[in-house]
Amino acid sequence: MLTVDTIKALQARLGRLRAERSTIALVATMGNLHDGHIALIELAKQKADVVVVSIFVNPLQFGLGEDLASYPRTLQADKECLAAVGCDVFFAPTVEQMYPDGMHDLTLVRVPRVAQGLCGGSRPGHFDGMATVVMKLLNIIQPDVAIFGEKDYQQLAVIRAMVRDLNISTQIVGAPTVRAQDGLALSSRNGYLSEAQRSTAPLLHKCLVNLASLLKLGQDIGPSLTGCRQRLESAGFEPEYLEVRNAQSLEPATRDDDQWVIMVAARLGQTRLIDNLVIKVSEATVVL
């Protein structure tokens, strides 16, 4: 595995690989790798000859009062993990490498519509920062394919819209959410949970499954959402949002849609958890 921390060194290596007609896949992460990240890498290995994994805790996508300073950084362990799973190129740039002129007057990428509301409503500026760094990575690496997890459903929608609107040739592939045995979606932030909170956290996914069952039976969205929210609050969650949206556009759901996505963000103590569940409305089946 080649490890590089500068854009110049990375592009020099990738240039040689392209000359050999190798295809390139990107897995962009913020580190503290877990089985969900490994699943992204395994999928990337199926899609391309060479897998590039980046680790960069992007300050541009953290708002005031968020956990930039405390976000888990485990670079050496991550590097060993990447070597073990067959990563070809490990890119670990510094903030100065990614933002050499600082971030005060930086050109930003803003994706309207799909970035509004949901996490975009509760985390102002988050998707501008995320889209900007993903655009930079796509421009730097110019991968044939890039893999992103479906757990961050709105993020994936924002990236797809950006790539489509700006005519970027990289294929964006969504990878299914990886869960613990009790259903909790894997996340680097799960490590913030206390033992008691960790035992409660799987209720988030269970509520989504129950809500999906109610909607498949034809129950109205409004009362079903209210009941789900009350169940979460009774268990100690503080929901930020709980909504049913069109799975493609993220517009409010209608009965004419082919697919819905139930999306939730909730705090359990100081830990912010997100999850989602897609429903095929026409076939009345749930895609987990």
Each residue of 160-189: pLDDT tens digit?
Answer: 999 999 999 999 999 999 999 999 999 999
Please give the tally of structural domains in the chain. Answer: 2
Tell me, yes or no, whether 210 and 159 share the same domain.
no
E-assigned strand segments in 44-170:
50-55, 89-91, 145-149
Tell me, yes or no, whether 110 and 237 share the same domain.
no
The SS3 call for residue 246 is strand
Tell me the backbone φ, ψ of residue 69, rounded to 5 degrees. Answer: -65, -35
Tell me, yes or no, whether 37 and 167 share the same domain.
yes
**Does residue 83 sit within a domain?**
yes
Tell me, yes or no, whether 155 and 215 share the same domain.
no
- The set of residues, in sequence order, having a beta carbon less than 8 Å from that of 209 and lying 6+ positions away, is 183, 277, 286
Tell me, yes or no, whether 130 and 206 share the same domain.
no
**Does residue 286 sit within a domain?**
no
- Among 37, 104, 126, 205, the active-site one is 37
Tell me, yes or no, whether 24 and 105 share the same domain.
yes
CATH number, position 95: 3.40.50.620
**Does residue 140 sit within a domain?**
yes
Instruction: Decide: 110 and 65 in contact? Cβ < 8 Å.
Output: no
Tell me, yes or no, whether 134 and 55 share the same domain.
yes
Tell me, yes or no, whether 237 and 117 share the same domain.
no
Tell me, yes or no, whether 128 and 93 share the same domain.
yes
**Does residue 64 sit within a domain?**
yes
Active-site annotation holds for 205: no
Tens of pLDDT, residue by residue over 18-38, are: 999 999 999 999 999 999 999
pTM exceeding 0.85: yes
Q: Among residues 197, 212, 191, which one has the least CA distance to residue 266?
A: 197
The whole-angstrom separation of Cα 76 and Cα 82 is 10
Tell me, yes or no, whether 10 and 149 share the same domain.
yes
Q: Which domain holds residue 50?
A: 2-175
Domain final residue, candidates 143, 175, 207: 175
The whole-angstrom separation of Cα 214 and Cα 262 is 12
> What's the pLDDT at 254?
86
Helix (H) or strand (E) holding 118: none
The whole-angstrom separation of Cα 66 and Cα 68 is 6
Tell me, yes or no, whether 131 and 219 share the same domain.
no
**Does residue 94 sit within a domain?**
yes
Tens of pLDDT, residue by residue over 200-227, are: 999 999 999 999 999 888 888 899 999 9
The whole-angstrom separation of Cα 162 and Cα 130 is 11
Mean confidence (pLDDT) of the chain: 95
Tell me, yes or no, whether 162 and 230 share the same domain.
no
Percent pLDDT > 70 in the chain is 98
Q: pLDDT confidence of 283, banded at 50, 70, 90?
A: low
CATH number, position 236: 3.30.1300.10
Domain final residue, candidates 142, 175, 208: 175
**Does residue 288 sit within a domain?**
no
Question: Higher-confidence residue: 218 or 66?
Answer: 66
Q: pLDDT confidence of 286, banded at 50, 70, 90?
A: very low
Query: Among positive and negative, which fits the CA dihedral 215, 218, 221, 223?
Result: negative
Domain final residue, candidates 175, 209, 238: 175
CA 7 to chain centroid: 23
Mean pLDDT of 246-270: 94
The whole-angstrom separation of Cα 52 and Cα 180 is 26
